[in-house]
Chain A
Amino acid sequence: VSAPATESRLFEGRCNESIVVRTSRARAFAALHRVEDWPARLPHVLAIDVLYDDGQYQEFLMDVRSDGGPIRVRSVRNCRLDTFQIEFFQPDPPAFLRHHAGGWQFYATGPDRCMIVAYHMWNLEPDVAAARFPPTDGRSTEQEVESLLRNHSLLALQSWQKILEEAA
């Protein structure tokens, strides 16, 4: 399982993580689709301001807790219930990224089991990224950024596993 091939070849960096959750695919998809509920469910999400939501396409502002204080991100999502996929991109990515996109995929692996895949794809803004994540012994700027986004994916997946299994 990985990011869609057509899209991923446009990006120099990509990573994906997955987790199996004791819940149905429909419930998992619905939880990640209903973005307005996130502040009540995800401790790191402080606020959501939905700018547009027609059921499939969404645009929203999300205030997220971070080590350096709250940050606001704008996200545009294409939520495909027919294929159980959610794609997103950040039109105003953090300064160290030129482009940032990704998504969620949902696979039924049993009657009450769902594998959730989170993937990120990005292109660096090289100078800003090098200043923010200077290369260290044995780790390049690219590896530092990948590690950051991979950890974001893992934390999000573990949070959703806890939420969905507690609610079951």
Chain B
Amino acid sequence: MVVTETIVISRDQPSVYAAFADIAGWTRILPDVQTVELLYWDGYNQEFRMTVERPGGPETIRGIRYCRPCSSLELFHPVPPPGVKRMAGQWTFKERAGLTTVVATRTFQLCDDELDGLGAEREAAFAEILRQALRTNLSRFKNALERHAEDHATSPALS
């Protein structure tokens, strides 16, 4: 199943891309991200381990990203979240008139033992949780990026 969420951020495309690409900086933007360990990074291929706070306790996932400045980030999880067999997706970035549109897409498949006759319902429920998480995270990036721009715009007057 595919889940997509979109947001418009009033910052230039390179700045928006850089915030999403800087996986180590996610701890400053997303409060539920506890730690990020960058395992490999050559500027294009990226491997990381991320621990996220969840209602049931901390959850650690490992991710691989392909970073294409400043147009897209492609992602998959060789160690997906519990109960998920496949989790992949991407973020795309497009700027127009100083506004950057970010489209976050995720494709997922639940583990077979999660689908015991209730496949469609469980998939739909998981998709809704994922959609909400994408929406929340995109909003947090937007807030961080736009607040950062405001801070910089006002700082000369304060000095």
Q: SS class of chain A's interface: helix, strand, loop or mixed? A: strand
Q: A76-B64, A87-B66 are in contact. Are A10 and B43 (CB under 8 A)?
A: yes
- B residues near A57, Cβ cutoff 8 Å: 64, 76, 78, 88
Number of A-B contacts (CB under 8 A): 49
- Bound form: Cα–Cα A1–B116 in Å: 49
Question: A10 contacts B64, CB within 8 Å?
Answer: no
- Bound form: Cα–Cα A57–B66 in Å: 12
Chain A residue nearest in CB terms to B40: A91
Question: B42 contacts A59, CB within 8 Å?
Answer: no
Question: A11 contacts B86, CB within 8 Å?
Answer: no
Chain A interface bracket (under 10, 10 to 19, 20 to 34, 35 or more)? 20 to 34
Q: A56-B88, A76-B64, A91-B39 are in contact. Are A101 and B78 (CB under 8 A)?
A: no
Tell yes or no: B45 within 8 A of A by CB.
yes
- A residues near B66, Cβ cutoff 8 Å: 78, 87
Expressed in whole angstroms, the minimum distance between the Cβ of B109 and any Cβ of chain A is 8
Tell yes or no: A119 within 8 A of B by CB.
no
Question: A91 contacts B44, CB within 8 Å?
Answer: no
- Bound form: Cα–Cα A109–B43 in Å: 33
Tell yes or no: B148 within 8 A of A by CB.
no
Q: In this complex, which of B42, B47, B66, B88 has the most chain A Cβ atoms within 10 angstroms of its Cβ?
A: B42
- B residues near A99, Cβ cutoff 8 Å: 40, 42, 45
- Bound form: Cα–Cα A116–B117 in Å: 45
Tell yes or no: B68 within 8 A of A by CB.
yes
Convert A29-68 into 0s and 1s, putting 1 for each residue whose CB lies closer than 8 angstroms to a CB of B.
0000000000000000000000110101101000000000
Q: Find residues 93-115 in chain B having any chain A CB closer than 8 Å to their own CB.
A: 109
Question: A76 contacts B47, CB within 8 Å?
Answer: yes
**Interface residues, chain A, CB within 8 Å of chain B?**
6-7, 10-11, 51-52, 54, 56-57, 59, 76, 78, 87, 89, 91-92, 98-99, 101, 123
